[in-house]
Chains A and B, each alone.
Chain A
Amino acid sequence: MFAFIARRLIATIPVLLFVAVFVFMLLRLTPGDPAAIIAGDNATSDQVASIRAKLGLDEPLYTQFFIWSGKALSGDFGESFFFKKTVAELISQRIEPTAMLALFTLILAVAIAVPLGVLAAAKQGGWVDRLVMGFSVMGFSVPTFVIGYLLIYLFAIQLGILPVQGYKRISEGFDEFIIRLIMPGVTLAVVYVALISRITRASVIETLGEDYIRTARAKGLPGRTVLLRHALRNAAVPIITVIGIGIALLIGGVVVTESVYNIPGVGRLTVDAVLARDFPVIQVVILMFSFVYVLINLLIDIAYSFFDPRIRY
């Protein structure tokens, strides 16, 4: 197992290297010059050129890349073009809201989606099944920001029971913290619930058709035991896989949700950095998201062996 983990961690190095080169080049080839943005609307061409030189953006691309990657390897990810802060400092300030939102969404989504999927599978073809599948289609179809605005309109403006926007750290009080996570978490969870419940349903239905399920039923085991202990556990591998794949969905959703709910997390930092062409920040944020994605997939691979003893590394 340790050898497997070590191999997988080593395998992330070329992935991250590829991401680094790709993002670096993509950003430099994208139209938009941070120097022009920094200089402001009244700046002349000469002033823009002077700022470009100060930022090192007038150097050839390969020189810029080697300077950046050399520093990054020594743990120096540079300084934001706009904030007078290092990229590491900026991200460390923004990581908590995003991590908390993602964790809350994940817990909420799994807690709702897996039972819904199992219920739909158990009642296949019935009205519960149709209801769950109808919700699933809707969850996939409605954009995250629309769900966000609808929830705000209902719960914040009309009913006045939840705040429109903002984030409070746990250190500022658990009540304030959790109340501000409810709407963003639900907004983000909708698509995730739709995805997981659908896969859970399909996987459980497939497992329910297996011989060992028939045997379990023939032994006289109660339906609930058959469903939860035998069917669900054996259906877990595809469910876990989709939870992992869905992390990418979550990362994309965080960017939109944080903007709608004004949560000062990494998602909003990404949007602001992209709009301002803050290259050092964009590069590190994308690298970080890539690393998280690779890491979560590794954890999921490890989890397979827990749910399916036949899988050994």
Chain B
Amino acid sequence: MTMKWTRRTALFGAALVAGALSLGAAAKAETVLRMVQNGNLTILDPIWTTAYVTRNHGYLIYDTLFAADANYAIKPQMVDKYEVSADKLTWTFTLRDGLEWHDGKPVTSEDCMASLTRWSKRDPMGQKLFDFVKELKAVDAKTFQMILKEPYGLVLDSIGKPSSNTPFMMPKRIADTDAFKQIDEYVGSGPFIYQTAQSKPGEKHVYLKNPKYKPRNEPPSGLAGGKVVKVDRFEFIEMTDTQTQVNALIVGEIDMIEQPPHDLLPVLEKDKNVALDDWNPLGHVFIIRFNHLVKPFDNPKIRLAALYAINQEDYLKATIGDPKYYKVCGAAFICGTPNGSEAGTNPLLIKSDFAKSKALLKEAGYDGTPIVLMQSTTLPVLTNTAPVTKALLEQGGFKVDMQSMDWQTVVTRRTKKDPPDKGGWNVFHTFAVAVDAMNPISNSFFVAADGKQWFGWPIDPDMEKLRDAYARELDPVKQKGLAEKIQLRALETAQFGWIGQWYGPGARRTSVKGWLKAPVPVFWNIEKTGS
């Protein structure tokens, strides 16, 4: 059978082609951005957990009253205007017009008050703020007041806290959930809407652009400013194998990786279709944490001996390798930030002084009991920290028993207060996102109040007095002076060690543009063109 070409068949063919083209155009119209995070998103309640993947999910679907801009200054976000009474006790916040939850209902003062209350029960900075809060009071549907018992210097820093637990705003019916129970409804007022039905935990999480979101008029800056979404759909792809992540990015099956491991960066640097973005210019900081409850680190001289034995450069070379991704920095509150000061450090933490370490050990009467050092072998960035500590402490006169285990075992074992021979520990390493370490209230390693401290359990009333003074201080210049005193006090008692800043760039296809510099990865302002 042969086909006879007639005007009708030509028109029919043209119609088919036009139809196919319009379908293609329609399909092309939906821009999908696919990203792999540094872990699986299993818990969807950013107040219930401090997991960074959950925080990132939070920034997609929720909004915040205030937010940190690119210079870490706290700027209004959902709030239109705010004022403080002359006695610094009454803070009045007025919400922007037109804020709406994803279910179409308006955002009200009651919603925000309930959200702040739930957050304050889980977050250390929220707890500290609410120690000063007398009451939250709704003035009208869009205005509420925070009335303090006495002036507090970190009201905006707390409400605008950029990292976990971030005070995200939720509808009152959801925010009224017990803070120690996970929420099971994911309705926010943020720039994306979570798609529960399309999301498959362990496979992917799907978010659609919120068409009703009203961005601020200012240009985006860090986490503040206008959150303009430039893609239709965003997907968190769950992919645990880092080599597979890199392969998938190279062939274009995904668009972005939050933070590829350092040993795979050279592979990505060579690919012309991939670019590396230092989206978090502050980076992270490594920490060495002592157990203050058990021998020998219950003795401050022995802790100080350990700090004299170590130096940042050795850790950074062994873990990060390429100097462009690390910085030797003596500031506990991070170099280049308002509180960043290197006072009291060099040579402490910067250059090893083994003679001083040995002298201090002799003075303290160290009996040669081996130090139990927990080595995590499953977090690549931490794996090499413990061997460096072992080598340096041994040169400084310590005996070290390095015990290797997966990170989850470290996380469990570090909660034990028993001596090492009964399942406890003496020292381990971790790291913090730099933005969490920028002041002595959010930086949990400085807490030294009985019952409130982080693992290691230091108790130092003088440190707590200084932290309290910092929290009450309203003048940023005086706050900086207090932060320096806190750093010096931490070094004097050898409370813990900060052992180097490092950076982990994100990777993206070159067709993806507009990844903002911010303390956490954010997905507004990103455009995707081409393949």
Measuring CB to CB, which residues of chain A are less than 8 angstroms from any residue of chain B?
Answer: 31-33, 36-46, 48, 50-51, 54, 82-85, 90, 93-94, 149, 152-153, 156-157, 160, 163-167, 259-262, 264, 268-269, 271-272, 275-277
Q: Which residues of B contact A153 (CB under 8 A)?
A: 247
Question: How close is A27's CB to chain B, nearest CB, in angstroms?
Answer: 12
B413 contacts chain A at the CB level, 8 A cutoff: yes
Looking at B222-230, B255-263, B401-409, the stretch in contact with chain A turns out to be B401-409
Contact B250 A38, beta carbon cutoff 8 Å = no
CB of A85 within 8 A of CB of B247, answer no
Q: Once bound together, how far apart are the Cα atoms of A75 and B228, in whole Å?
A: 48
Residue B13 at the chain A interface, CB threshold 8 Å: no
| Nearest CB of B to A160, in Å | 7
**Which B residues, 169 to 207, have Cβ-Cβ distances below 8 Å to chain A?**
180, 182, 184, 200-203
| Contact (Cβ within 8 A) A268 B202 | yes
A83 adjacent to B201 (CB under 8 Å): yes
**A36–B240 touching, CB < 8 Å:** no
Q: Is the CB of A45 within 8 A of B415?
A: yes
Contacts of A152 in B (CB 8 A): 244, 247
Does B511 lie at the interface of the complex (its beta carbon under 8 Å from any beta carbon of A)? no
Nearest to B430 among chain A residues (CB) is A41
Interface check B451, CB cutoff 8 A: yes
A198–B252 CA distance with the chains assembled, in angstroms: 40
In the complex, besides A36-B415, A41-B411, A84-B44, 18 extra interface pairs with C-beta distance below 8 angstroms are A31-B409, A31-B413, A32-B408, A32-B412, A36-B414, A40-B51, A41-B430, A42-B50, A42-B165, A43-B50, A44-B451, A44-B452, A90-B201, A152-B247, A167-B203, A264-B203, A275-B378, A277-B408
Query: Is B240 touching A32 in the complex (CB atoms < 8 A)?
Result: no
Residue pairs across A and B with Cβ atoms less than 8 A apart, 24 shown, are A31-B405, A32-B409, A33-B415, A37-B412, A41-B50, A41-B411, A44-B453, A44-B454, A45-B417, A45-B455, A83-B201, A157-B250, A163-B251, A164-B251, A164-B253, A165-B239, A167-B203, A259-B240, A262-B239, A262-B244, A264-B200, A264-B203, A271-B240, A277-B408
In contact, B43 and A149 (Cβ under 8 angstroms): no
CB atoms of A262 and B413 under 8 A apart = no
| Chain A residue nearest to B378 in the complex (CB) | A275
Shortest distance between the CB of A259 and any CB in chain B (Å): 5
Asked if residues B180 and A82 are in contact (CB atoms below 8 Å), the reply is no
Is the pair A272, B240 in contact by a Cβ cutoff of 8 Å? Answer: yes
**CB–CB A51/B405 < 8 A:** no
Query: In the bound complex, what is the Cα–Cα distance between A160 and B253 (angstroms)?
Result: 11
Partner of B124, one of A42, A45, A167, A259: A42
- In the complex, what distance in Å separates the CA atom of A268 from the CA atom of B417? 34
B residues less than 8 Å from A277 (CB atoms): 408
Cα distance, A46 to B406, chains bound together (Å): 23
B411/A260 in contact, CB under 8 A = no
Does A40 lie within 8 Å of B202, measured CB to CB? no
The residue of chain B having its C-beta at the shortest distance from the C-beta of A163 within the complex is B253
Cβ of B40 within 8 Å of any chain A Cβ, yes or no, is: yes
B residues contacting the other copy or chain, number (CB 8 A): 48
Residues A42 and B164 in contact in the complex (CB < 8 Å), given A54-B180, A84-B44, A264-B238: yes
Q: Which residues of A contact B202 (CB under 8 A)?
A: 83, 90, 93-94, 264, 268-269, 272
What residue of chain B has the Cβ atom nearest to residue A40's Cβ?
A: B50
Residues of B within 8 A of A269 (CB): 202
A276 contacts B203, C-beta separation under 8 Å: no
Q: Is the CB of A260 within 8 A of B180?
A: no
A94 to B436, CA, bound (A): 36
Report B309 CB to chain A, min CB distance, Å.
26
Judge if B346 is at the interface, Cβ distance under 8 Å.
no
B117 at the binding interface (Cβ < 8 Å): no
Contact A84–B182 (Cβ < 8 Å):
yes
- Contact indicator A42/B444 (Cβ below 8 Å): yes
The docked-state distance in angstroms from the alpha carbon of A166 to that of B444 is 39
Do A42 and B244 touch (CB < 8 A)? no
With CB as the reference atom, state the residue of chain A lying closest to B457: A45
Closest 4 CB pairs of A and B: A40-B50, A33-B412, A264-B203, A82-B42
Give the nearest-CB partner of A148 in chain B.
Answer: B244
Checking A36, A45, A84 against B184 with a beta-carbon cut-off of 8 angstroms, the contacting residue is A84
Q: How far is the CA of A157 from the CA of B251 in the complex (A)?
A: 6
Residues 229-245 of chain B, each 1 if its beta carbon lies under 8 Å from chain A, else 0: 00000000111110110
> Cβ of B299 < 8 Å from any Cβ of A?
no
Is B49 interfacial (CB 8 A cutoff)? yes
In the complex the two chains form, is A260's CB within 8 Å of B241's CB? yes
| Residues of A contacting B241 in the complex (Cβ-Cβ under 8 angstroms) | 259-260, 262
Interface string of B439-467 (1 = CB under 8 A from A): 00000100000011111000000000000
Residues on A with beta carbons closer than 8 Å to the beta carbon of B251: 156-157, 160, 163-164
